[in-house]
Chains A and B, each alone.
Chain A
Amino acid sequence: GAVVSQHPSWVICKSGTSVKIECRSLDFQATTMFWYRQFPKQSLMLMATSNEGSKATYEQGVEKDKFLINHASLTLSTLTVTSAHPEDSSFYICSAPGIAGSYNEQFFGPGTRLTVL
């Protein structure tokens, strides 16, 4: 099946710094990617939809100026957590549909654990 990678797999940063997380589709192209986060003991929650060549769309309650998404190529989407604070500590994971235009089969990265001190 298709493979999605994420980098880094974990990161620890100081409060106030920015952190960039990369999501790559390794053997297929993805015009759309989805970003989710998971707080402890909670479900994966959709944050935003990343669209190649256009602006991302954010779910209600997600600050677009805090979580900057760039989808500059057909295989790479990045999520930058700007001025991170301890409450941003979470598990971030991306997914990409394997077939353009069909979201019935989505492939997930392994996720990134962010800890903000």
Chain B
Amino acid sequence: ILNVEQSPQSLHVQEGDSTNFTCSFPSSNFYALHWYRWETAKSPEALFVMTLNGDEKKKGRISATLNTKEGYSYLYIKGSQPEDSATYLCAFDAGGTSYGKLTFGQGTILTVHP
């Protein structure tokens, strides 16, 4: 059983604060690491798919880094806004015969207070 852990489980920040959370995953049999943003009653929205060690990706105020050798990824949000409030999920893809079959972490619930 693959173990994907996210921390913290929840986070409360003030508008304008920058924040980050962690996803740890197996460092062997790595193919890709996905980040999703999930608002209540909506579909999870893909943020990033990361495949290369050392990868850094950015989308507006959100960025992510990847370290496949040590098995972790960080998601950063700069200048948090109330609309950033959501659950952030990471998902590990081992590739091979498991290609596309994602193993999810439990998510980090972010609440941004105005």
Q: Which residues of A contact B (CB under 8 A)?
A: 1, 4, 9, 32, 34, 36, 41-46, 49, 59, 93, 95, 97, 103-111
Closest to A97 in B: B100
Residues from chain B with Cβ under 8 Å of A93 in the complex: 44
B50 to chain A, nearest CB (A): 10
Given the complex of chains A and B, what is the CA–CA distance between A105 and B46 in angstroms? 8
A108-B100 in contact given A43-B4, A103-B93 (Cβ < 8 Å): no
Contact assessment for B100 and A34 in the assembled complex, using a CB-CB cutoff below 8 Å: yes
A43-B42 in contact given A104-B49, A105-B49 (Cβ < 8 Å): no
Residues from chain B with Cβ under 8 Å of A107 in the complex: 43, 46
Residues from chain A with Cβ under 8 Å of B104 in the complex: 36, 43-45
Closest to B101 in A: A46
Contact assessment for A43 and B106 in the assembled complex, using a CB-CB cutoff below 8 Å: yes
Within 8 A of A (CB), among B21-61: 32, 34, 36, 41-44, 46, 49, 51
Q: Which residues of B contact A (CB under 8 A)?
A: 4, 32, 34, 36, 41-44, 46, 49, 51, 89, 91, 93, 99-107
Find the residue from A34, A41, A44 having the highest chain B CB count within 10 A: A44
Residues from chain B with Cβ under 8 Å of A36 in the complex: 104
Given the complex of chains A and B, what is the CA–CA distance between A2 and B107 in angstroms? 23
Closest to B100 in A: A103
Residues from chain A with Cβ under 8 Å of B44 in the complex: 93, 108
Contact assessment for A106 and B99 in the assembled complex, using a CB-CB cutoff below 8 Å: no
**Across the A-B interface, the 4 shortest Cβ-Cβ residue pairs:** A103-B100, A44-B104, A43-B104, A108-B44
Residues from chain A with Cβ under 8 Å of B42 in the complex: 110
Contact assessment for A106 and B46 in the assembled complex, using a CB-CB cutoff below 8 Å: yes
Given the complex of chains A and B, what is the CA–CA distance between A97 and B49 in angstroms? 13
Residues from chain A with Cβ under 8 Å of B103 in the complex: 43, 46
Contact assessment for A49 and B101 in the assembled complex, using a CB-CB cutoff below 8 Å: yes
Interface pairs (20), CB distance under 8 Å: A34-B102, A36-B104, A43-B4, A43-B103, A43-B106, A44-B102, A46-B102, A49-B101, A93-B44, A95-B102, A103-B100, A104-B49, A105-B49, A106-B102, A107-B43, A107-B46, A108-B43, A110-B42, A110-B43, A111-B43
